[in-house]
């Protein structure tokens, strides 16, 4: 089955972020295809490289990055939600006149059209968070 995942909650704020990554890992382990993981609302905070959790805590951003490398996942962060929360890639940083960027490795910024495409291309769109 071809799946896409929508993550609406940030890491360390709500169980949804943990559930989304655990679901994605389980789906891949069972042989399902994950077409795209789309991060929206506070979920975009999963894609910041500036989060530094304590050493004895899980690093959800790093887990997504590793999973994306291992399975060639498309991790898409909503551009409007990301900008509102100060998450920028290199191009947006330059366009907005900012000094740096903080999108984590393996993530990319794009628009809501990517979410629509994920819903169309997938058998199921599984949503985590409000």
* Residue 69 neighbours by CB distance under 10 Å: 11
Whether 46 is catalytic is no
Cα separation, 130 vs 88, in Å, equals 23
Catalytic residue (one of 78, 82, 103, 118): 78
Angle, vertex CA 54, rays to CA 48 and CA 11, nearest 5: 40
Catalytic residues, by residue number, are 78
């Amino acid at each position: 089955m071809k799946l896409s995942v929508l993550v609406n909650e940030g890491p360390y704020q709500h169980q949804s972020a943990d559930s989304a990554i655990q679901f994605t890992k389980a789906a891949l382990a069972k042989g399902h295809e994950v077409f795209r993981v789309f991060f929206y609302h506070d979920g975009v905070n999963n894609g910041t490289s500036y989060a530094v959790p304590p050493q004895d805590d899980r690093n959800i951003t790093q887990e997504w990055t590793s999973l994306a490398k291992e399975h060639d996942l498309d991790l898409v962060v909503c551009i409007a939600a990301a900008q509102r929360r100060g998450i920028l890639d290199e191009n947006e940083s330059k366009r907005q006149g900012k000094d740096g960027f903080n999108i984590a490795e393996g993530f990319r910024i794009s628009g809501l059209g990517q979410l629509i495409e994920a819903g169309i291309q997938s058998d199921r769109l599984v949503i985590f968070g409000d």
